[in-house]
């Protein structure tokens, strides 16, 4: 993980009632970020006061924002002097920088919100929403937004898969799906993000995506979902579900968008669930890994295909609608986290501390709406796992990126479960775990 850029850039619970829009909804938004790989240029003072526009905005949705335009926007944001910082957190296989933008409070007590934009390179609407959000936050002068930023740290990974974005592909340059790599950490992109989560300990993580509709059963304008993993702390799980059901989805409906739960097909007449095609409890996807790592998790998916003949005839209409729906979700996220910051901080702090008590089952399968099979439940988990020197050498870097600690044990190491990452460790080391890093020897002699 490198330093600052050149130029100084540094259900378990039942569904609750829908809430109306919160007044904080007027927070200036627009999201995403990008960092600069070139030194900053001098910007005239008048230009520095004028908010920059993305390529998407300048073309009225006729095209997506290019990499150079993203870099220029970030240069203007940093030069503006509102406290925005950008740092390079990694490099892709094709040599493109992975950049993290920070704006808002630097106080340790601040609530930290992380936006991950464009893990799939062919899903650009979330990235556009993230870029404009960064700009709007940096240039905001209204008291509500400035107060929000004084008590909130907003982190944005605006282009989480730069190689995929450049190629217009779902996967990265190796053809790997970054959003299926949050356990194995084979990709540079997932490794960089794992380090951010380990070091910045976000309280809330939103993952922005797009999807292709299957009318009439699966065709809402915007879908959202919370972490379904059974390894989520109860309070983190429930707070995540409330975020989706009481804030994000109602905000989408208020804004005129249709909305549903990601992965759930519904009867077009009755609205009853028909089947589930996605949105399970696999921890290798970010929505679930967020909760395993003690953060509220939120997945947002905008509909990528055209809704009407007008959108088919004018693709810019569809692009603008896709980006608008993502911005509505971001507004709801900011408003709700600002309103509920105290219980959110309490939930994430409890989750981080719970592992040291070394109690309760760990699940190798199942979800909050699908019971784990008996063989997927570690009802009485081991005290830890022993790794030979050879096995540890093959998994050492990934364990460190996940924040898992170990101690010497003979010619190998011992990984105790009595640590913050308790519910993650069996997913990494138990021979029954589907996406494990290596096979550890369980120690049951507690």
325-350: per-residue pLDDT in tens? 999 999 999 999 999 999 999 999 99
User: First CA to last CA across the chain, in angstroms?
Assistant: 37
Q: How confident is the model at residue 47 (pLDDT cuts 50, 70, 90)?
A: low
Q: Residue 12: count other Cβ atoms within 10 Å of its Cβ.
A: 12
pLDDT above 70 for 444: yes
- What is the predicted pLDDT for the residue at 446? 79
- What is the predicted pLDDT for the residue at 44? 45
Beta bridge partners, 85, equal: 102
- What is the predicted pLDDT for the residue at 81? 84
Supply the mean pLDDT for the chain.
91
Rounded to the nearest 5°, which phi and psi values hold at 227?
Answer: -70, 125
Name the one residue in this structure whose structure tokens are 């930290």.
Answer: 112
CA-to-CA distance for 99 and 89, rounded, in angstroms? Answer: 6
Q: How confident is the model at residue 12 (pLDDT cuts 50, 70, 90)?
A: very low
Region 204-227 average pLDDT: 98
Tens of pLDDT, residue by residue over 133-173, are 999 999 999 999 999 999 999 999 999 999 999 999 999 99
Q: How much is the pTM?
A: 0.90
- What is the predicted pLDDT for the residue at 45? 53
The two three-digit tokens of residue 22, written as one number = 């919160």
CA-to-CA distance for 414 and 54, rounded, in angstroms? Answer: 50
- What is the predicted pLDDT for the residue at 48? 58
For the chain, the domains span 23-350, 380-443
Name the one residue in this structure whose structure tokens are 């890994």.
Answer: 289
Shortest CA distance to 420 belongs to which of 153, 198, 241?
198
pLDDT above 70 for 440: yes
Residue 426 CB contacts under 8 Å (≥ 6 apart), including other chains: 362, 364, 378, 381, 385, 417, 433
- What is the predicted pLDDT for the residue at 358? 84
Assigned superfamily of 23-350: Zn peptidases (3.40.630.10)
């Amino acid at each position: 993980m490198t330093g600052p850029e050149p130029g100084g850039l540094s259900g378990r619970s039942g569904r609750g009632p829908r809430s109306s829009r919160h007044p904080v909804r007027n927070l200036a938004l627009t999201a995403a970020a990008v960092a600069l790989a070139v030194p900053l240029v001098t910007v005239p003072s008048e230009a520095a006061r004028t908010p920059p526009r993305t390529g998407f905005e300048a073309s009225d949705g006729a095209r997506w924002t290019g990499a150079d335009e993203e870099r220029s926007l970030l240069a203007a944001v940093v030069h503006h002097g509102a406290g925005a910082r950008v740092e390079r957190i990694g490099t892709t296989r094709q040599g493109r920088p992975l950049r993290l933008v920070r704006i808002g409070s630097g106080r340790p007590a601040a609530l930290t919100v992380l936006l991950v934009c464009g893990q799939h390179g062919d899903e650009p609407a979330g990235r556009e929403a993230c870029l404009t959000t960064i700009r709007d936050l940096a240039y905001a002068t209204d008291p509500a937004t400035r107060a929000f930023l004084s008590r909130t740290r907003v982190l944005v990974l605006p282009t989480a898969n730069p190689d995929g974005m450049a190629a217009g592909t779902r996967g990265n340059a190796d053809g790997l799906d970054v959003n299926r790599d949050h356990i194995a950490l084979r990709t540079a992109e997932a490794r960089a993000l794992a380090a951010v989560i380990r070091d910045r300990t976000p309280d809330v993580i939103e993952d922005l995506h797009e999807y292709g509709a299957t009318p009439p059963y699966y065709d809402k304008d915007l879908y959202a979902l919370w972490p379904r993993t059974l390894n989520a702390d109860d309070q983190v799980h429930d707070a995540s579900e409330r975020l989706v059901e009481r804030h994000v989805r109602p905000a989408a409906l208020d804004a005129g968008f249709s909305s549903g739960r990601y992965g759930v097909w519904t009867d077009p007449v009755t609205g009853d669930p028909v089947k589930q095609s996605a949105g399970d409890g696999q921890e290798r996807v970010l929505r679930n890994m967020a909760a395993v790592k003690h953060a509220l998790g939120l997945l947002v998916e905008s509909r990528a295909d055209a809704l009407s003949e007008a959108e088919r005839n004018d693709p810019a209409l569809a692009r603008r609608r896709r980006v608008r729906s993502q911005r509505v979700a971001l507004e709801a996220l900011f408003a709700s986290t600002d309103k509920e910051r105290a219980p959110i901080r309490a939930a994430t702090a409890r989750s981080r501390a719970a592992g040291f008590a070394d109690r309760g089952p760990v699940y190798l399968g199942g979800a909050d709406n699908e019971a784990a099979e008996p063989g997927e439940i570690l009802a009485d988990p081991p005290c830890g796992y022993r790794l030979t020197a050879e096995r540890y050498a093959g998994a050492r870097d990934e364990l460190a990126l996940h924040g898992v600690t170990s101690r010497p044990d003979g010619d190998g190491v011992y990984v105790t479960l009595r640590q913050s990452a308790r519910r993650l460790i069996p997913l990494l080391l138990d021979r029954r775990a589907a996406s494990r890093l290596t096979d550890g020897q369980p120690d049951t002699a507690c």
